[in-house]
Structure 1
Amino acid sequence: MRRFAALYRELDRSTATLDKRAALVRYFRAAPPRDAAWALHLLAGGKVAGARKKIATTRELREWIAQASALPDWLVDDSYDQVGDLAETLALLLDDPVTPGEDIALADWIEARLLPVANQEVEVRREVVLQAWRGLAFDERLVFNKLLTGALRVGVSQRLVQQALAEMSGIDIARIAQRMLGAWTPTPEFLEQLLSPQELPTDRQQPYPFFLATPLEAVLRAGVVDGTSSADDTSDDDTAPALANDPDAVARALGPIDDWLLEWKWDGIRLQLIRRDGEVALWSRGEERLDGRFPEIEAGASRLARDCVLDGELLAWREGDAGPMPFTALQTRIQRRKPGPKTLADTPVRMQAYDLLELDGEDWRERPQHERRAALDAVLAASPDCGITLSPLVDARDWTHAAALRGDARERGVEGLMLKRASAPYQSGRKRGDWWKWKIDPLTIDAVLLYAQSGHGRRSTLYTDYTFGLWDGDTLVPVAKAYSGLDDKEILQLDRWIRAHTLERFGPVRSVQPHHVFELGFEAVNRSSRHKSGIAVRFPRILRWRHDKPMAEADRLETLKALAR
């Protein structure tokens, strides 16, 4: 545990990506395989226990720390409100032991002490936790608490961990990323297979890592695209609308439009369809197998004339309709592992395929985009009854014409345009230079701040998560939650105002005096019976603080409903 706690401390204190990666390489080289496997699981976002394996609830942990520290419950709760992180709060409220206990391996803590007591009586679980608290110094106690709360957040992405493993082992990062897709168990055997230089039988069962597009605004701000990549770029900023609406700026950044393939940006579920040796598997971008949930797609894949791996978008789409149904229609299908006849009839789906990653067992990802697209066209044309369609190219004479087509995207039920360099290989992760998403301008409303909640991480002591409402008659009805869009100065100003104008508290949430108006942006509006307002907005965020607008002039609910699909 001490070695992993030292790694956690080093990662937490470092702000340089290269330093973090070097620390990870040192750890994985020195750690015993069992510990390294669990460290990989945790750093990649895994948890020790889940919904079916309860070790301790947050309420139980608060009660136990109050007993162990002899502090009143209210002081524990106030401490948590101030610190913002439960694991850190628990670690701070106890003194270090006079004599630290033995250094138990990370894997032993998890496999021999925590998992065996999962779901047992509260007294059994509490005793294991209290014994650990009494014997661990602060750094180890903090990491132990992170294991309990499942919130290891330490500024390390799964991609960075994979980069460290690739540097340490010499294995291509794409192969490592591919082997980590889907469900896996943190064992020395898995770690050995993960870093094996040989091609394994299981490699044939896994999807390829998805290639992700970057918002076009990122290159427009820089003003130039040079084909270089940034492996850790995960920005999805929708700012700089003026640049995004300027075809000349796009032309300066991307060059001749003939160098690019343009497609519609669909609003569905990103899907990788695998047909190998006649067997079919469906994988979502979230690394989840979807077998059985979309039988019409699996049946269509089985009718393909050749084995292949396709990348595309799953959409709810009725036969004969000009465009897809709203994304919310897909939500009726996502959670149904075996949809019945009514569901299949009410919400039919189709796959719009736009890339070919493998053909007849051969990896095509290094081939240029235009070559992969031509082969994909041929594969689908040879199987006209497969029910999988080719995502159409958007024919634009120049960037001005493309901008005009983008302006009509919402009426088509799409989110904008995808721009793909014709000569580009299929990469993994989000890398700048070859795939850009040119999204339409957001829909907007002016809404009133109603509730606020503290944020996480460095903003855990500030109120940064907000709920906004619109007028419905004489009543303000909540319609959206947002936590991004304000700068640090505005957040501090609003935080002070929230504290001074709180009306009620509901646990961590405060209701505030209705007064301030904010312009919100969002991608789409859909009818929803699950929301009090009857409306659900997609990807809401704050565009600006409307100091110029009184609360009475905020938008009305019927205005938002009129935008719903």
Structure 2
Amino acid sequence: MKHFAALYNAIDASTATSSKVAALVDYFAHAAPADAAWSVAFLLGRRPKRLVKSADLRVWAAEAAQVPDWLFEESYAQTGDLAEAITLLVPEQTAQETSHDIAWWVEERLLPLSRMEPALQRQLLRDSWHTLVGTQRFVFNKLLTGAFRVGVSDGLVVRALAQVSGLTAETIAHRLMGQWEPTAPWYTQLVGTQTTDADWSRPYPFFLAYPLEQPPESLGATSDWQVEWKWDGIRCQLVRRRGRTFLWSRGEELLAGRFPEVEASAEWLPDGTVLDGELLAWRDELPLPFSELQKRINRKTVGKKLLAEVPCRLLVYDCLEHNGHDVRSEPMTSRRAHAEALVTPLPGGATIGLSPVVHADQWDTVAAARDKARETRSEGLMLKRRSSPYGVGRKVGDWYKWKVNPLTVDAVLVYAQAGHGRRAGLYTDYTFAIWDGEALVPFAKAYSGLTDVEILQVDRFIRANTVEKFGPVRTVKPELVFELAFEGIQQSTRHKSGIAVRFPRISRWRQDKPVREADSLETVRALLHA
């Protein structure tokens, strides 16, 4: 644990990319394969599932710290981080410092917790807290609570591993895709120069678009760009190899069995095919709301009733592998031609189709198409340079997303709760309401959009105007109005207002607007029907 904690400190102490990569290279160059494997997993955001109930963890930490529960809870509320609260409150016993590194602590201490009775969990955790010191104990607690994060991107980890192994960053990124277990043999294979057939089901790293923040005219001639609809579904890759089909989400989850109608259509595709596209709930030549697709996302098996109620379709954007050859380095126009050659011959009724190209000869026409995006139930447009290769991750210059302007509603702040991490101790989690006759009905929650100065001002208002407290939640006087922006709206039986919105955030503080002029449920329903 000592070496991994030292790496954590080195990354946390610097904002320079070169320093972070150097620390990673030094660590991976000397780490044992098992330690390196777990380190890669944690640095890439893969965490163990919850190992201990949070309530038990807080009680046992208070006991170990010899403080009353209320004092521990107050400390936790101030830090906004359970791992940090435990690390600060539980006394250290430096004489027992361990020499075991990260793999031992994960495999011998953390993972066994999920199979233990509470009494054994309590004893193991107390022994661990009394053995580890400083950053080592903080990192252990972060892993224990599932909250481990450190300021290094996936791209920097890939760069470091490429330097250590002598392989290209593209090769490392590809090998890290899909499902894998962090073991010593896996890590040896990851950085090894020998190719293997073990990962024939593996997808490619996804290429991502940047938001368009400049006028589209600045991109040059429209003839240099392919314009497509930006769909609101599940970005995925369809991999067809060795007579089998694999659907991978952008989150690197294998969607086996969840979309059998798409897998059935994929059987018509030749081996050595990888397509990039969007999974959508689809009926009558239009996508259904994302909430319909959600009904199928977490189902391991799908019954006939759900298949009939929520039919799905894969709209293909791109071709990444053709006849068993990686074609990502070919220009967009060539890859689109491969996709058309593969998808167009599919038989009628197939649930795989091409995402249509929006034909436009000038930017005014493109802008007009964007304005009509909601009529096609899309989020806006994608602009892809025709000469662009299929890259890795998010790069500026080749792919842009130009989303429609969000919907907005003026709503009243009615509840607040303290934030976590950097915002611990400040009220930054807000619930907003709209008018239903003479009553305010909770409508949406939002956590982002205010400046640091505005957060402090709102925090002071909340503390001075609290009406009631319910645990960590405060009811506040309904006097502040904010404009909320969101991407989509739909009916919902789970919400008191009968409305649910997607990705709500604060777009501005309406200090010019009195509370009675906030929007009504009737106004919001009009948005829904529109």
Relative to the length of structure 2, the TM-score reads: 0.96
Aligned residue identity for 2:146:
G
Task: Give how far 1:483 is off.
Answer: 1.4
Task: Give how far 1:528 is off.
Answer: 1.6
1:145 counterpart = 2:108: no
Match of 1:190 in 2: 186
For residue 99 of structure 1, give the secondary structure of its aligned residue in structure 2: helix
Task: Give how far 1:163 is off.
Answer: 2.1
Match of 1:430 in 2: 394
Aligned residue identity for 2:245:
V
Match of 2:222 in 1: 257
Aligned residue identity for 1:435:
W
Match of 1:522 in 2: 486
Aligned residue identity for 1:270:
R
Q: Could you report, residue by residue, the CA deviation over 1:394-418 in whole angstroms, capped at 9, with x for unpaired residues?
A: 0112011111111011122111110
Of the three residues 303, 312, 325, the one matched with 1:362 is 325
Equivalent residue pairs, number: 528
Match of 1:229 in 2: none
Task: Give how far 1:322 is off.
Answer: 4.3
Structure 1 stretches lacking a partner, 5+ long: 221-248
Match of 1:28 in 2: 28
Match of 1:481 in 2: 445
1:407 counterpart = 2:371: yes
Of the three residues 455, 472, 475, the one matched with 2:436 is 472
Of the three residues 323, 329, 343, the one matched with 2:306 is 343
Task: Give how far 1:355 is off.
Answer: 0.3
Of the three residues 334, 341, 344, the one matched with 1:378 is 341
Instruction: Name the CA distance, whole Å, in 2 between partners of 1:376 and 1:276.
Output: 16
- Preserved contact between residue 174 and residue 203 of structure 2 (Cα < 8 Å): yes
Aligned residue identity for 1:257:
T
- Preserved contact between residue 270 and residue 323 of structure 2 (Cα < 8 Å): no
For residue 202 of structure 1, give the secondary structure of its aligned residue in structure 2: coil
Aligned residue identity for 2:216:
V
- Preserved contact between residue 344 and residue 353 of structure 2 (Cα < 8 Å): no
Match of 2:77 in 1: 81
Aligned residue identity for 1:4:
F
Instruction: Name the CA distance, whole Å, in 1 between partners of 2:381 and 2:474.
Output: 40
For residue 267 of structure 1, give the secondary structure of its aligned residue in structure 2: coil
1:280 counterpart = 2:245: yes
For residue 203 of structure 1, give the secondary structure of its aligned residue in structure 2: coil
- Preserved contact between residue 65 and residue 90 of structure 2 (Cα < 8 Å): yes
Task: Give how far 1:461 is off.
Answer: 2.5
Map residues 13-412 of structure 1 onto 2, 5 A cutoff: 13-48=13-48, 50-51=49-50, 54=51, 56-217=52-213, 220=214, 249-251=215-217, 253-305=218-270, 307-318=272-283, 321-385=284-348, 386-412=350-376
- Preserved contact between residue 315 and residue 352 of structure 2 (Cα < 8 Å): yes
Match of 1:240 in 2: none
Task: Give how far 1:98 is off.
Answer: 4.8
Instruction: Name the CA distance, whole Å, in 1 between partners of 2:117 and 2:273.
Output: 51
Pair 1:381–1:147, CA change in 2 (3 A): closer
Pair 1:184–1:459, CA change in 2 (3 A): same
Map residues 449-468 of structure 1 onto 2, 5 A cutoff: 449-468=413-432
For residue 139 of structure 1, give the secondary structure of its aligned residue in structure 2: helix
Task: Give how far 1:532 is off.
Answer: 2.2
Pair 1:401–1:114, CA change in 2 (3 A): closer
- Preserved contact between residue 411 and residue 433 of structure 2 (Cα < 8 Å): yes
Match of 1:501 in 2: 465
Instruction: Name the CA distance, whole Å, in 2 between partners of 1:326 and 1:197.
Output: 46
Aligned residue identity for 2:455:
I
Of the three residues 380, 388, 393, the one matched with 1:416 is 380
Match of 1:490 in 2: 454
For residue 434 of structure 2, give the secondary structure of its aligned residue in structure 1: strand
Of the three residues 518, 522, 526, the one matched with 1:562 is 526
For residue 562 of structure 1, give the secondary structure of its aligned residue in structure 2: helix
Instruction: Name the CA distance, whole Å, in 2 between partners of 1:341 and 1:377.
Output: 31
- Preserved contact between residue 66 and residue 72 of structure 1 (Cα < 8 Å): yes
Task: Give how far 1:477 is off.
Answer: 1.6
Structure 2 stretches lacking a partner, 5+ long: none
Higher mean displacement: 201-210 or 412-421: 201-210
Higher mean displacement: 177-186 or 71-80: 177-186
Q: Could you report, residue by residue, the CA deviation over 1:158-209 in whole angstroms, capped at 9, with x for unpaired residues?
A: 3322222122212222222222223321111110111122221123210011
Instruction: Name the CA distance, whole Å, in 2 between partners of 1:179 and 1:507.
Output: 46
Pair 1:322–1:106, CA change in 2 (3 A): closer
Instruction: Name the CA distance, whole Å, in 1 between partners of 2:181 and 2:204.
Output: 19
- Preserved contact between residue 317 and residue 323 of structure 1 (Cα < 8 Å): yes
Q: What CA RMSD, in Å, does the superposition of the two structures yield over aligned residues?
A: 1.6
- Preserved contact between residue 278 and residue 307 of structure 1 (Cα < 8 Å): no
Of the three residues 424, 443, 455, the one matched with 2:407 is 443
1:542 counterpart = 2:506: yes
- Preserved contact between residue 272 and residue 325 of structure 2 (Cα < 8 Å): no
Q: Could you report, residue by residue, the CA deviation over 1:349-405 in whole angstroms, capped at 9, with x for unpaired residues?
A: 111111000011000100000111112112222334443211111011201111111
Question: Which ranges of 4 or more aligned residues in structure 1 deviate by more than 6 Å?
Answer: none
- Preserved contact between residue 83 and residue 138 of structure 2 (Cα < 8 Å): yes
For residue 286 of structure 2, give the secondary structure of its aligned residue in structure 1: coil
Instruction: Name the CA distance, whole Å, in 2 between partners of 1:103 and 1:172.
Output: 34
For residue 105 of structure 2, give the secondary structure of its aligned residue in structure 1: helix
Instruction: Name the CA distance, whole Å, in 2 between partners of 1:183 and 1:375.
Output: 27
Match of 1:228 in 2: none
Higher mean displacement: 88-97 or 537-546: 88-97
Instruction: Name the CA distance, whole Å, in 1 between partners of 2:111 and 2:370.
Output: 53
For residue 199 of structure 2, give the secondary structure of its aligned residue in structure 1: helix
Instruction: Name the CA distance, whole Å, in 1 between partners of 2:203 and 2:370.
Output: 31
- Preserved contact between residue 94 and residue 133 of structure 2 (Cα < 8 Å): no
Pair 1:510–1:119, CA change in 2 (3 A): farther
Task: Give how far 1:306 is off.
Answer: 5.7
- Preserved contact between residue 271 and residue 283 of structure 1 (Cα < 8 Å): yes
- Preserved contact between residue 262 and residue 419 of structure 1 (Cα < 8 Å): yes
Relative to the length of structure 1, the TM-score reads: 0.90
Task: Give how far 1:213 is off.
Answer: 0.7
- Preserved contact between residue 69 and residue 94 of structure 1 (Cα < 8 Å): yes
Give the percent of matched residue pairs that are identical in Structure 1 and Structure 2: 55
